[in-house]
Amino acid sequence: MSQNTYNRYMNIAVPGLIADAEFTNKDGLQAAEAIGLGLAVVQKIGAPNQGRLPKANMATVVFSADLKSTGGNDVINMKVDGHAMSPVTFNTSHVHTMDLIVTALKAVTGVANAVVDTSDTDSRTILVYTNDGLDALVTDIVVVGSTTPATGTSTSETTDTIYGVSIMSQAIQQPYPALNAPILYVNGAPVGCLLRGRIWVLAETAVQNGDAVYMRFSGDHSVIVAPSTTGTGAGTGAYAHSYATIAALASALGITTGNIFNTIDGRDTLDGALATAKGSGLVVGDSFVLLSSSTAAYLPGGYTGGYFKDAGNFRNDDDSGKAVLVDGMEWRSVTTAPGQLALVDINMPQ
């Protein structure tokens, strides 16, 4: 169907658009994962020629009191990114038991290193670092055994520092019909990054000119601007079939209801499930929206993707420790609500 209505005014910009013809400094990295436009790009640890989105790759675990054997030996359990640490039982002393926990954490899948924080004079803090590209989410910390066992808490942090902001380019090659899916740099593609200049990005918060810029490193994909599903449906023609397979795969990957996704979306890769998806009548590269845990609809058009709290976004506060201040960046425009386009000035040292 041809387009019969048009906006009177063009959009002021799109995410990743360089703002003006003033002096700029740009560089390129190879994408280590799918990267959207107007997002923070950091260098991959151990491969500085590759870029990825920031991660919560460090966790601080703090015990409220010493581990002990009063009334029974403490037994300590926790998980890192869902992977369980082997239980550790109190042995000899609090300090020795902390060392045992460190050893057990190092054996957990995805953990690169763990150390007792020497700045804590009580030796109750452990720093956990994950392999590059993984989040260090420590959960389910449980201590049982002694009469009054300690409690454990964890906070996520990042060791990542911004390299640049991903630039919008008409030359970005998409290996699938983009439809209304977000344009992105796919895994392995060269990513254009702005290191100095002014560029348009989406702001998670309402911002003022001169505000500090914070880079989100920990995202829960919660909704900032809800997506519109106008125009989606059960599908027609070649797409008039059950979407149970693709919906189940998307749901298993943790894709939130209402989120647009693609059968080869680099961020939510279906990996070996592609053959299964094709077997159900899907075409590799098709775009869908997850309507529920069991229903996915083909996107024939008319879909407006939402804006979510994902790593790489920018805002003007730390969101309770989930975003980090970026030295060398400043907001250069005013917005009135979350999810609006805003101008940032960036000047990264070389």
pLDDT digits (tens, 9 = 90+) for 312-344: 999 999 999 999 999 999 999 999 999 899 999
Are 234 and 300 members of one domain? yes
Whether 51 is in a domain gets the answer no
Are 133 and 267 members of one domain? no
Are 19 and 100 members of one domain? no
| Cβ 185 vs Cβ 172: under 8 Å | yes
* Residue 11: per-residue pLDDT: 66
Whether residue 298 is predicted with pLDDT greater than 60 in this model: the reply is: no
- Cα gap 47→39, rounded to integer Å: 20
Q: Which has the higher per-residue pLDDT, 6 or 284?
A: 6
- Cα gap 343→129, rounded to integer Å: 33
Are 26 and 70 members of one domain? no
Q: Which two structure tokens, joined as six digits, stand for 338?
A: 């979350």
Are 322 and 301 members of one domain? no
Helices of type H across 183-330: 244-252, 274-279
Are 277 and 249 members of one domain? yes
Question: Please, which pLDDT band fits residue 256 given cuts at 50, 70 and 90?
Answer: low
Q: What is the pTM of this model?
A: 0.75
Whether 53 is in a domain gets the answer no
Whether 48 is in a domain gets the answer no
Q: Which has the higher per-residue pLDDT, 277 or 81?
A: 81
To the nearest whole percent, how much of the chain has pLDDT over 70? Answer: 70
Mean pLDDT for 215-243 is 58
Whether residue 78 is predicted with pLDDT greater than 80 in this model: the reply is: yes
* Residue 245: per-residue pLDDT: 58
Whether 106 is in a domain gets the answer yes
Are 280 and 318 members of one domain? no
Where among 114, 129, 157 does a domain terminate?
Answer: 157
Q: What is the DSSP letter of 284?
A: T
* Residue 316: per-residue pLDDT: 97
Whether 140 is in a domain gets the answer yes
Are 109 and 180 members of one domain? no
Mean pLDDT for 84-91 is 97
Whether 186 is in a domain gets the answer yes
Whether 4 is in a domain gets the answer no
Containing structural domain, residue 255: 227-305
Whether residue 270 is predicted with pLDDT greater than 70 in this model: the reply is: no
Whether residue 181 is predicted with pLDDT greater than 80 in this model: the reply is: no
Are 210 and 234 members of one domain? no
Question: Please, which pLDDT band fits residue 235 given cuts at 50, 70 and 90?
Answer: very low
HSE of 332 in the Cβ direction (CA atoms, 13 Å)?
A: 15
Among 212, 159, 216, 209, residue whose Cα is nearest residue 328: 212
| Cβ 53 vs Cβ 166: under 8 Å | no
To the nearest whole percent, how much of the chain has pLDDT over 90? Answer: 58
Are 68 and 136 members of one domain? yes
Are 301 and 318 members of one domain? no
Are 334 and 194 members of one domain? yes
Whether residue 29 is predicted with pLDDT greater than 50 in this model: the reply is: yes
| Cβ 117 vs Cβ 157: under 8 Å | no
Question: How many separate domains does the chain show?
Answer: 3
130-139, 239-248, 257-266 — which one is most confidently predicted on average?
A: 130-139
Mean residue pLDDT of the chain comes to 81
Q: What is the pLDDT of residues 95-144, one digit of tens each?
A: 999 999 999 999 999 999 999 999 999 999 999 999 998 999 999 999 99
* Residue 305: per-residue pLDDT: 56
Whether 7 is in a domain gets the answer no
Whether residue 223 is predicted with pLDDT greater than 90 in this model: the reply is: no
